[in-house]
Amino acid sequence: MFKKNKKILVQGSEITVVAVKEQDYISLTDMVRDIENGLVLIEKWLRNKNTIEYLGIWEEIYNPTFNSPEFEGIKNQAGLNRFALSVKQWVEKTQSIGIVAKAGRYGGTYAHKDIAFEFASWISPKFKIFLIKEFQRLKEEEQKQLGWDIRRNLTKINYRIHTDAIRENLIPVTLGKQQIGHVYASEADVLNMALFGKTAKQWREENTDNNGNIRDDANMSQLVCLANMESLNAVFIQEGLEQSERLTRLNQIAIAQMKILVNDNGAKGLKHE
């Protein structure tokens, strides 16, 4: 149910954020961990009539299995001196999905971000503002990483297309493994020369203190261009073009595409983070 934890730092407090069914849930327990008798605040907040009304509206919008009749009974009792309600009782009685309890090492009470922000406001308006700020920063970092992963995976997919074209069109079945490897490396360097102006070996000789390779060092724009060229080179190979002609054409394509990518406003932020 819960996916990998992430942390944000809000006014000195480390707050856990987890993904539950692709939705962000924030630890209410972490929010009050540094407050004296903080855990009591969660149940105190849950006893508040305005809280109950807010939770009920949220659940009715997003939760098709929400137990509305049970909720109405709880809402009618909310605000009375004898009214008491735990997170466990709320979840069990109403089939709530907005607040969940997690056991184990990172256990505690978690709430959907919409609800967590409301709880933060109840604790302190200032705390809520900083919580939202740090949460937004986390999501921006995730988007940057997602963009990088997508482009890296696109390059890997196109690499497979490229190597399949080499195997099917350039490698006679009688060649040994070492000879086959030389052909693959030779074709990889066609792309390296077209885009970077140097072979993988030349790059390694110039970067002896770097444990990566020429493509690991590429920025986003170069990776996009490389993915395009791998697909094009696969087509050129299938068409039977000589390596020298493919290199010339790929170099011209690389120059044209990089000019577009470098000058495009949307691509200027594509950097290797």
Q: Residue 171: which pLDDT band, with cuts at 50, 70 and 90?
A: very low
Tell me what pLDDT residue 167 has: 62
User: What does 142-181 look like in DSSP terms, one character per residue?
Assistant: HHHHHHHHHHHHHHHHHHHHHHHHHHHHT--TT--HHHHH
Q: Residue 146: which pLDDT band, with cuts at 50, 70 and 90?
A: low
The domain limits of the chain are 6-123, 140-267
Phi, psi dihedral angles at 60 (to 5 degrees): -65, -30
Extract the tokens encoding 174.
């009688």
**pLDDT digits over 118-143, tens only?**
999 998 889 899 999 888 888 877 76
Most confident of 36-40, 41-45, 175-179: 41-45
Q: Indicate the Cα dihedral angle 217, 223, 226, 227, nearest 10°.
A: 140
CB neighbour class for 75 (10 Å; exposed up to 12, middle 13-18, buried from 19): middle
Tell me what pLDDT residue 9 has: 87
pTM of whole model > 0.85? no
Paired strand residues for 126: none
Tell me what pLDDT residue 40 has: 85
Query: Is residue 180 pLDDT above 70, yes or no?
Result: no
Extract the tokens encoding 105.
């090492």
More confident position, 256 or 269: 256
Is 194 in a helix, a strand, or coil?
Answer: helix
More confident position, 240 or 185: 240
Residues 269 and 273: their CA atoms lie apart, in Å, by: 10
**pLDDT digits over 56-89, tens only?**
999 999 999 999 999 999 998 887 888 888 888 9
More confident position, 267 or 165: 165
